[in-house]
Structure 1
Amino acid sequence: METYLGIDVGSVTTKLALLDGDDELISYTYLPTQGKPIDMVQEGLRQIKRQLSGDAEICGAATTGSARYLAGVIVGADLVKNEITSHAVAALLYYPDVQTIIEIGGQDSKITIIRDGIVIDFGMNTVCAAGTGSFLDHQALRLNMSIQELSRRALDSQNPVRIAGRCTVFAESDMVHKQQMGHQVEDILYGLCQALVRNYLSNVGLGKEIKPPAVFQGGVAFNQAIIKALQEELGIDIIVPPHHEIMGAIGAALL
């Protein structure tokens, strides 16, 4: 059986996806990068190998992500491609009429505008991390809760509190202030999710024409509170692919 490997190495997570000749996903891994991209790529390859059947043969490999060139050298990749292209190709496979791709990762965020199956515009975050997953991770750590608990409790909010989300430092001090004022933790947490969405749209999405269908990709798409905040802010439905966290790797494999 002919298969094709895609590898997406980001600053926070490393993803590998293996597709067959019919572009069906047959195996994947999702690992924390932990500042060791070489080790994680090698571990991902070992996991993929254990999942393969005896007659499977990897006929091509492509890499993407912030460490795509390093990963390309490690595996002898046939192709090294940027994240914008990889995520767009994957989204178009599953949603051919997609017009907007929202991608929020651990330390970077992107938006891709597609019309008639062609990428016509894109945006990426600057050095600020306030519109990325690390923004939420930092606050969850400060509150001594997991990111899963943060998401779950944020959805219980009845009266969200507006949090200053332009900067992680300001957000933290504002959260402390709101707690001292007696606001419910759930309301503060959902306010934090709303702050991330506002920051993303005013920074990465600035000047972009966001139209449905809109697909939400990246690890932060696990967070149901962020999905809710996006839908409320944009006034449109947000589509989350079943394998949203590995779409970059899937796109690389398709290429």
Structure 2
Amino acid sequence: LGETEVIAVGTTGSARFLAGVITGADMVKNEISAHAVATIKEFPDVSTIFEIGGQDSKIIIIRDRVVVDFAMNTVCAAGTGSFLDHQAERLGIKIEEFGDYALRSKYPVRIAGRCTVFAESDMIHKQQMGASVEDIIRGLSESLVRNYLNNVGRGKELLPRFVFQGGVSENKGIKKAFEEAIGHEIYIPKHNKVMGAIGAAILAHHEVKAKGKKSNFRGFEVVDKEYYTRTFYCNGCSNNCEIYEIREEGKVLARWGDRCGRWTGTFQVHL
């Protein structure tokens, strides 16, 4: 990347600790905080964030620019990007056109959206009964939104402004289904697919600036090195913590996962 100056590095997401060790992150932050920070930056008056990615979905409740509640669905894949990709492939259409098909529907069918297996079975049945692809996709979109609101959003006070982000927010059909379900306009950020990364970058910048130090970034050459990971269980006490270890070209870079610090305490890693 030439003479690019890296001021700060932040990592987030399910692999944030691993990525943080490899890159030398100045800040490792959970997805909820990262998404909230980025969204508040673009929409200061946001109250509810719908986030649906490739593997999971989450909802974040914000009041006066502060996260007050959240929920995540990491168990069921129904409604996530990977599930929609699979259905688009099965129907023989491009995922980029999925939403357009839904918007062309005139008579949407009702699809069971609580489970990927049931949803797919229901879609196949509707096809066999003669429903159009457009009506099936619209029905699926509405079903997935109902499932999201009834599970991830259960018990939450949903107030405007509503912001929808994550890869699935590219889907016009899902956006439309959300707007019809909640009765409000849904706003999509300019960089809707990378809001978590933007939030992590903002937090990392604040961290470096507050401490008045240079970034811990280890350089772009880290991509050319070999890494090896392993897990083991600590028998130091009855907790039997599962410890994660990463090595760079044979040298231990970091360990994490213990409750007492027995293993992480031997490494100066900013997690």
Task: Report the TM range for the smaller structure's normalisation.
Answer: 0.7 to 0.9
1:21 is aligned to none
Paired with 2:47 and 2:98, the residues of 1 have a C-alpha distance of 30
Query: Given the alignment, which residue of 55, 65, 72 partners 2:20?
Result: 72
Counterpart residue number, 2:42: 94
The runs of 4+ residues in structure 1 deviating greater than 6 Å are none
Q: Distance in 2 between matches of 1:115 and 1:126?
A: 25
Q: Which residue of 1 aligns with 2:255?
A: none
Which residue does 2:73 correspond to in 1? Answer: 125
The answer to whether residue 11 in structure 2 is matched with residue 63 in structure 1 is yes
Q: Which residue of 2 aligns with 1:140?
A: 88
How many angstroms does 1:155 deviate by?
Answer: 1.2
Over residues 215-242 of structure 1, what are the superposed CA-to-partner deviations in whole Å (9 max), with x where a residue is unaligned?
1111111111110000001111100011
Structure 2: gaps of 5 or more residues: 204-271
Q: Which residue of 1 aligns with 2:58?
A: 110
> Which structure has the bigger radius of gyration?
2
What TM-score results when the alignment is normalised by the length of structure 1?
Answer: 0.77
Q: Tell which deviates more after alignment, 131-140 or 158-167.
A: 131-140
Separation (CA, whole Å) in 1 of partners of 2:8 and 2:170: 30
Matched, 1:192 2:135: no
Mapping 1:213-224, distance limit 5 Å: 213-224=161-172
Q: Which has the higher strand share?
A: 1
Alignment partner of 2:163: what SS? strand
Unaligned runs of 5+ in 1: 1-48
Residue number among 180, 185, 192 corresponding to 1:244 in the alignment: 192
1:195 positional shift: 1.2
Amino acid aligned to 1:162: R
> Match for 1:139: what amino acid?
Q
- After TM superposition, list the pairs within 5 Å mapping 1:151-190 onto structure 2: 151-190=99-138
State the Cα distance separating 1:163 from its structure 2 match. 0.5
Deviation per CA, 1:103-124: give whole Å up to 9, x if none.
Answer: 0001100000000111000000
Instruction: Report the CA distance between 1:131 and its aligned residue.
Output: 2.9
The corresponding residue for 1:30 is none
Is contact 1:219-1:244 (8 Å) kept?
yes
Name the CA distance, whole Å, in 1 between partners of 2:180 and 2:115.
22
Superposed CA RMSD = 1.1
Deviation string for 1:27-70 (max 9, x for gaps)? xxxxxxxxxxxxxxxxxxxxxx26xxx4x421211100111011
**1:135·1:196 contact (CA, 8 Å) conserved in 2?**
no
Identity over aligned pairs, percent:
66
* Residue 126 to residue 71, structure 1, CA distance change in 2 (3 Å): closer
Aligned residues between the structures: 203
Distance between the aligned counterparts of 1:131 and 1:181, measured in 2?
Answer: 23
What SS does the corresponding residue of 1:60 show, helix, strand or coil? coil
Q: What amino acid maps onto 2:50 in structure 1?
A: I
